[in-house]
Chain A
Amino acid sequence: MSILVTKETRVICQGITGKTGLFHSQKCREYAKECQPDVDVFVGGVTPGKGGQTVDDFPVFNSVAESIAKTGANATMIFVPPPFCADAIIEAADAGIKLIIAITEGVPTLDMVRVMHFLAKTDSRLVGPNCPGVITPGVAKIGIMPGYIHTPGTCGLISKSGTLTYEAAWQLGNVGLGQSTAFGIGGDPIIGTDFIDLLEMFENDPGTESILMIGEIGGNAEVLAAEYIRDHVTKPVAGFIAGQTAPPGKRMGHAGAIISGGSGTAAEKIEALEAAGVSVAKSPADMGKAVLEAIAKA
């Protein structure tokens, strides 16, 4: 079992005629074919003005609405450049796409404010932006993560980061747990799907038996997640917070990873998670082990 990305998922790529969009559409198609040889999971792409063309056998459409009508797509992977990303998300939601995964890095924060305002009136779910995407190992991946480091399994993985998510997935494989579904939710200040949304879904997913959440400095999403875990999550949860050695006032790569005014530190997040009964790994080398500990403790 899994959440959001399932055997029913059919995906288009917005920005498929760009170099990166095409490359990752090909990689995602390859992975889906290995997992589900008899179906086409990646069904085409959208680039306004290039409708009617094909790129490497992907049909290209002028609009998301047209792509849905012709292919039955219910999910989108967005690679359009940052100035146009907000518009692409809004187009997808307006056309009725239920799962929108925005990989694009560098979207202006106030564009995302506008996007979230718009999405509130729809039933579309956004993951990202500035994220590696989502993978249900053995079913499909929508994003830029390498497929082979993920093994099918029972741990739900939620992370703000990219390569740190890979590291965690790799460790989960090594300790024999694998993942039910793995999410990179993005490191920007304003993001679509947050820890709490996914904690709730993993809690309700019969295929998920444990959860690993990886946060970082900046904001208070991890603290709110800790409160949610304390009150609502019965499955074992482990965690890791990146940036224990980060200085205040400096942006650490991700737009949202900054300690401002003394708040958003790793220490306060770790304390909140531990108080909620989460097994927090002290070293990034021990994320997989922390999940085993959480399971043993439960």
Chain B
Amino acid sequence: MKIHEYQAKGLLKQAGVPVPRGIVARTADEAAAAFDELGGSLAVVKSQIHAGGRGKGRFKEHPDQPGVVLVRSAAEARENAERMLGSTLVTIQTGEDGKQVNTLLVEEGLDIARELYLGIVVDRGEGGAVMMMSSEGGTEIEIVAHESPEKIFKQPIDGGYGLQPAQARSLAQRLELDPAAWRSAESFLPTFARFFTQNDCSMAEINPLIVTADGQLVALDAKVGFDDNAMFRHKNFAELRDLSEEEPAEVRAADAGLSYVKLDGNIGCLVNGAGLAMSTMDLIKHHGGEPANFLDVGGGANVDQVTEAFRIILSDENVKAVLVNIFGGIMKCDVIVEALLSAYDNIGFTVPLVVRLEGTNVEKAREMLNSSGRDIITATDLTDAAQKVVGSISA
């Protein structure tokens, strides 16, 4: 689960990680009032959407308006907020549809001496969390990793003892920070590492992390994602979720216990198991088709789940045919066919449906399909299934 920058900064502040003073604004008046309350001569007005690249992003309705803007008066804050709120911000990460901005974060301007990159990820090779820092603040870490990997410094975070001050100091020294900033790093970095583990983050990134003119580290931006599997022990995070940032069909699928990802093709697929579902997409592509989605119905698919799965697949107007690929293990094929037939009748199919079954009780299941009287194309193996479903569209 991802959250907004202002939410991440709220949590970081609670945890003792320094962030700029900031106020959330949902109207232009609130943005102007925020400027006055902050009391400085300079403030930053930042669009709150989950996607990155906001500073370089522009609004569809106002092509000259950037997603993040410096303002020098309350009136300027108001004018910018009026253009930003309710408008659609398009960034390198949103795709061309963009995202509507409903919330702004107004923050104090700071005296910046240096901009750094700070991130923590779970590194599979290390078998734990690893802190990454780079002197190239503001740049995407993937680009730095690609172009100048020697500029990235890594420090594994011990699962038992966390990040030690000496390790933080070492990072500060490798980044050639001014000795005045070492003390700040000894506190900031271990606190940030503790924030990561205590909140079951899947990733946390501060880009840029700034060093102020007086040697203090401050999180100028913050991007945090949580491990969905750990949400049972962070029930309070549920209220941080912003459903308007998520694909509606994916939310609907998750509610039904299905795993769904929308793609751009025209052949819908319904599969049991994530690996087989990915492979089914590959299979369609291999035979010249384009998959419209990833959909894993899981191990215990029942009539309700299969019906909902079909509804979600068919809610995509691009879908011109559907392939069902089931390897029935513990879940017997005949039970799946019962669910399939009920779902088929519930829906009223208008596009070709190809079904490939294998596994427990497959003969009985195929017989049920063939004698069902419904217009369902049965396939004997993977290749046959792919050819039939691709052929059903081109025919």
Residues of A whose CB lies within 8 Å of any CB of B are 24, 27, 82-83, 106-111, 113-114, 116-117, 144-146, 148-149, 159-167, 170, 187, 189-190, 214, 216-217, 219-221, 224, 240, 242-247, 250-257, 261-262, 266, 282-285
Residue from A163, A221, A224, A245 in contact with B281 in the complex, judged by beta carbons closer than 8 Å: A245
What is the CA–CA distance of A161 and B232 in the complex, to the nearest angstrom?
Answer: 25
Report B276-316 residues with CB < 8 Å from chain A CB.
Answer: 276-287, 291, 294, 296, 299
**CB-based contact B160/A110 at 8 Å:** no
**A39 → chain B closest CB, angstroms:** 24
Question: Could you list 22 examples of A-B contacts with CB < 8 Å?
Answer: A110-B227, A116-B127, A161-B276, A162-B275, A163-B271, A163-B272, A163-B276, A163-B327, A164-B273, A166-B359, A167-B327, A245-B263, A246-B281, A250-B261, A252-B274, A253-B259, A253-B273, A254-B275, A262-B146, A283-B386, A284-B279, A285-B382
**CB-based contact B145/A261 at 8 Å:** yes
**A102 → chain B closest CB, angstroms:** 13
**CB-based contact B382/A284 at 8 Å:** yes
B197 contacts partner chain A, Cβ-Cβ < 8 Å: yes
B318 contacts partner chain A, Cβ-Cβ < 8 Å: no
What is the CA–CA distance of A255 and B259 in the complex, to the nearest angstrom?
Answer: 11
**CB-based contact B275/A242 at 8 Å:** yes
Residue from B124, B278, B280 in contact with A190 in the complex, judged by beta carbons closer than 8 Å: B124
**CB-based contact B382/A108 at 8 Å:** no
Which of chain B's residues has its CB closest to A256's CB?
B124
Residue from B122, B275, B281 in contact with A187 in the complex, judged by beta carbons closer than 8 Å: B275
**CB-based contact A117/B128 at 8 Å:** yes
**CB-based contact B127/A247 at 8 Å:** no
Which of chain B's residues has its CB closest to A258's CB?
B202
Q: How many residues of B contact A (CB 8 A)?
A: 55
**CB-based contact A217/B278 at 8 Å:** yes
**A195 → chain B closest CB, angstroms:** 12
A216 proximity list for chain B (CB < 8 A): 275, 278
Residue from B124, B145, B271, B294 in contact with A219 in the complex, judged by beta carbons closer than 8 Å: B124
Residue from B122, B275, B360 in contact with A165 in the complex, judged by beta carbons closer than 8 Å: B275
8 more A-B contacts (CB under 8 A) besides A164-B279, A254-B274, A284-B282? Answer: A82-B229, A149-B359, A220-B125, A242-B278, A244-B285, A245-B281, A283-B287, A284-B280
Q: Given A110-B230, A166-B327, A245-B263, A283 and B277 touching (CB < 8 A)?
A: no
What is the CA–CA distance of A26 and B274 in the complex, to the nearest angstrom?
Answer: 26
**CB-based contact A214/B202 at 8 Å:** no
What is the CA–CA distance of A159 and B278 in the complex, to the nearest angstrom?
Answer: 14
A262 proximity list for chain B (CB < 8 A): 142, 146
What is the CA–CA distance of A145 and B85 in the complex, to the nearest angstrom?
Answer: 53
What is the CA–CA distance of A170 and B326 in the complex, to the nearest angstrom?
Answer: 13
The 0/1 profile, CB within 8 Å of A marked 1, for residues 349-361 of chain B is 0000000001110
B330 contacts partner chain A, Cβ-Cβ < 8 Å: yes
B367 contacts partner chain A, Cβ-Cβ < 8 Å: no
Q: Given A109-B230, A245-B285, A163 and B275 touching (CB < 8 A)?
A: yes
